[in-house]
Amino acid sequence: MRAVFNSPDTHNLVVCTLCSCYPWAVLGLPPVWYKAPPYRSRAVIDPRAVLAEFGLDLSAEKQIRVWDSTAELRYLVVPERPQGTEGLGEEKLVELVTRDSMIGTGLALSPEAAR
């Protein structure tokens, strides 16, 4: 397993183009759309449009890196720390991380959204 880190300049998206490899031991069962051929192919061809369909509109300046998981190597995204969380400890930060943020189709929740 390899962790890739979102940053102010880069957003990471995980896909498996061949067989829908998914870190289910960590994240639980994959969502149905993760295995769907349209997601798997479009995420590579036009990741910005796919993310927009998930409600994630990233600035044109932000680079999107797509990571193709395999049976031998699976990826997890470490989401960017949300604004306003500088004083939060690990226990509270964990509550902001979602399955979608760990595969790149979402962001970590804001502290207000987690309540």
Confidence of residue 114 (pLDDT cuts 50, 70, 90): low
Domain that holds residue 29: 2-103
Domain membership flag for residue 110: no
Q: Which residues are catalytic?
A: 16, 19-21
Q: Is position 112 within any domain?
A: no
For the stretch 96-113, pLDDT in tens is 999 999 999 999 999 887
SS3 letters across the chain: CEEEECCCCEEEEEECCCCCCCCHHHHCCCCHHHHCHHHHHHHHHCHHHHHHHCCCCCCCCCEEEEEECCCCCCEEEECCCCCCCCCCCHHHHHCCCCHHHHHCCCCCCCCCCCC
pLDDT tens sequence across 30-78: 999 999 999 999 999 999 999 999 999 999 999 999 999 998 999 999 9
Q: Is residue 115 part of a domain?
A: no
Instruction: Give the CATH number, domain containing residue 68.
Output: 3.90.330.10
Domain tally, the chain:
1
